Amino acid sequence: MTEKADVFDFVLAYAARGWHVLPLHSVRGGRCTCGRADCTSSGKHPRTPHGVTDATTDLNALAEWYERWPDANVGIATGGKSGLAVLDIDPRHGGDDTLLDLEVKHGKLPSTLEVLTGGGGRHLYFKHPAGVQYLKSGAGVLGAGLDIRADGGYVVAPPSNHVSGNPYVWEASSDPENDEPADLPGWLLNLLTAGQSAPNGHKPHNQAQGGKVLQGQRNTWLTSEAGRMRRAGMDEPAILAALKTLNQQNCYPPLDDAEVIRIVQSVCRYQPGYALTDAGNAEFLNDRCTGQICYRHDVRRWFVFRSPVWAADDNGEVERLALEAIRERQAQAFGIQDADLRKKTLAFLLNSENGYRLRSMLEIAKSRPNLTKSGKEFDQKQMLLAVKNGVIDLETGNFREGQPEDYLTQCAGTHYDPTAKADRWEQFLREVFLGDTELFGFIQRAIGYTLTGLTREQVFFFCHGARGLNGKSTLFDTLRALLGDYAKSTSFSTFTNDPNKGGHQESLMTLEGARLVVANETSTVGTLNEAVLKTLTGEDPVTGSKKHEHERTYLPQFKLWLAANDLPKVRDVSPAFWRRVVLIPFLARFEGKNQDKGLKVKLRAELPGILNWALEGCLAYQREGLNPPAACTDATEAWRGDCDPLVDFLTTCKLDPRLETKASALFETYEQYCRLNGVAQAVRSVQLFSKLLVAHGFERARRTNGIFFVGIGA
């Protein structure tokens, strides 16, 4: 049958096979020939008055219909009438995914006659199961997007046209004139008949009653159970003994022992463990490559374990491993003693090397228990640090080999060498911080804390040096090199209220997985975005999406290290914000002969030693906490004073929870403070003054004689 054959040629061919045909309305000009503007089954519903019951193989009736309606679409009755059960797969409603889930659970469907529908779906033709009096048609009985067309139903057949303008066609490898439909798999029949009743209300003969497996299902059920035992590695005598027991206890009436023996012998022709199907290949890959590969459903990519981390497969390594697995099965097959089975097994496995079979194998493998990962498993161990030659336990400082179950995807930029030193690095820091040993120790603890995935300190580090050439950039460059994958840079505008820069949320989504985030600004930086900084230091989840990706949520593990030559403005005067700020002063200046132009190269050479130094800082942090020195706390308070017009005034007030002072009286005291101390009065109204006091955390109380503030006295 060729594509050039007219509609009636198809009709005659179908009738010759014993398939009962009925004429359907067609589609003209994008509309159904029924003429109804609201038709919801365009080109799919019968032209004859009695619908599918009119379907026939009578050539005279068919000739009369197609002479009257020469462009009618073609319907084929399903069920016992034509000996067909057709699986209708609609990918637009999840049919492909539903079928894949079923095949992963029960086994691959056999190859059979297949129609590609005009709407992008597929019809798989199977034989109506023998001994089943009634197999009910239904939509969604197997799950979303999967319908069964059997008794009482019909399908639209080639060369019918679809409302989309596309025709129904036979899949290229299908020959409807000469090929037979495959038998309906037992597992699919079991799913379709579970709970069904025939039209007269009686259970069909193949339906279990009272927990028994009845005639029509016994062979299928026992074969399935025997296959399960074989895959578990049971030998033939053990399977036979178990199956005889199941037959007597569960089948009604029980099969003869001879039939049970035949089932066991048939199943045991296969090597234990893996079926000759794409699913069997996937199971073999699952067992062979556990800990080597996995499929992450959150990012829809295969990952491979390249110790000590899992990395996205960007060079086809998973496909190569799949091919290796197939060839390993081939090598094993040469040891099969039964010549016929050996030949059959090798033929299947050689065919498994083609691209379609490999893709099918890998598609099924995505849901195998040892290979499938949701993505939530990865990068959750906050006190493990991957380095180029292994993994460091940051709680103890101990080094070991990386393990797949660490589920790490980021790696530091150096290897671990317990003997390495960092003399030039330590000299650099002493020069930068002018020999301040307390500040030196704090920087070591802060960098040690940065190695971890912890964010419990809820602070960000702001490195400030007004004149440049003070070591900030060198510090940041070295930290980025040290942390490697764990380090990310972003624009300073991510943390400011710059009206010309947008996309804060998208920028934040690029920081997932980092432990160090740096942003360096050398020009005027404007006003900080306090809300963003509170979120990123508050142990709160971040939700958003990268361009062209779905929305997702992650919990930050990074520590923010910001740097600028000029301090930005801060509008938030609340303690809730300022407790998060750690200002680190960079007061040195490296010019002329004091400038070591080869310093960055020297520090790169010391990265293993700098890692040891940072590990010491991490252990010190766990013992002592961050504990910022006076140099940092004083600098932070000075910055706060520049941003907060009341901070110095409040140091002169009495703070006692028992006190209450009228707002107007406090404002007068503030005005007097400014005059006496020669301070410019930044706050000119009692209303603004009151708002700032609330921001500082003082309770505002309305009394009969005015507004008071609790906990403060003039």
Tokens of 305: 């374990």
CATH of range 7-193; options 1.10.3210, 1.10.10, 3.30.2250, 3.40.50: 3.30.2250
What's the burial of 665, exposed, middle or buried (CB within 10 Å: 0-12/13-18/19+)? middle
Residue 33 tokens, joined: 């020939």
Query: How, if at all, do strands 384-387 and 390-393 pair?
Result: antiparallel
Dihedral angle over CA of 653, 655, 656, 662, nearest 10: 50
Distance CA 627, CA 297 (A): 42
Q: Which residues of the chain have pLDDT under 70?
A: 1-5, 131-134, 139-140, 193-212, 216, 228-229, 231-234, 270-273, 335, 468, 498-506, 522-525, 546-549
State the Cα–Cα distance between residues 534 and 370, nearest whole angstrom: 39
Considering all CA atoms of the chain, what is the largest pairwise distance in Å, rounded to the nearest integer?
115
Cα gap 281→539, rounded to integer Å: 44
Contact status, residue 707 vs residue 694, Cβ threshold 8 Å: no
- Environment class of residue 550 by beta-carbon count within 10 Å: exposed (0-12), middle (13-18) or buried (19+)? exposed
Instruction: Name the strand (E) or helix (H) holding 205.
Output: none
**Dihedral Cα 44, 48, 52, 53, nearest 10 deg:** 180
124 and 87 Cβ atoms separated by less than 8 Å: yes
- Per-residue pLDDT at 625: 96
Q: Which two tokens stand for residue 436?
A: 């301040």
Q: Report whether CATH 3.40.50.300 matches the domain 454-606+628-641.
A: yes
* 8 Å CB contact between 515 and 538: no
Of 448, 457, 364, 453, whose CA–CA distance to 406 is shortest? 453
User: Nearest to residue 176, comparing CAs of 365, 403, 16, 334?
Assistant: 16
> Is 145 within 8 Å of 92 (Cβ atoms)?
yes
In the structure, how many helices (H) and strands (E) does the chain have?
23, 31
Supply the DSSP string of 631-642, one letter for each residue: HHHHHHHHHHHH
CA atoms in the 13 A half-sphere facing the CB of 196: 23
Report the b/e string of 454-491 with b at 16+ CB within 10 A.
bbebebbbbbbbeeeebbbbbbbbbbbbbbbbbbbebe
Strand order from edge to edge, sheet including 398-400: 384-387, 390-393, 398-400
| Cβ count within 10 A of residue 387 | 22
Q: HEC profile for 91-109?
A: HHHCHHHHHHHHHHHHCCC
- Is the Cβ–Cβ distance between 253 and 294 less than 8 Å? no
DSSP code for 179: P
For residue 498, the model assigns a pLDDT of: 65
Helices (H), 352-422: 355-365
Q: Where are the beta strands (DSSP E) in 509-603?
A: 516-521, 542-544, 552-554, 559-564, 581-585
Measured between alpha carbons, how far apart are the two ends of the chain, in Å? 101
Q: Where are the domains of the chain?
A: 7-193, 213-267, 278-373, 454-606+628-641, 645-713
What integer pLDDT is reported at residue 684 of this predicted model?
85
Residue-wise DSSP of 22-48: EEE--EETTEETT--TT-SSTTTSBSS
In sequence order, the 6+-apart residues with CB closer than 8 A to the CB of 493 are 501
Q: Which CATH class is domain 645-713?
A: mainly alpha
What pLDDT is stored for residue 456 in this prediction?
95
Q: Is the backbone peptide bond immediately before 176 cis, with ω within 30 degrees of 0? A: no
Residue 198 confidence (pLDDT): 32
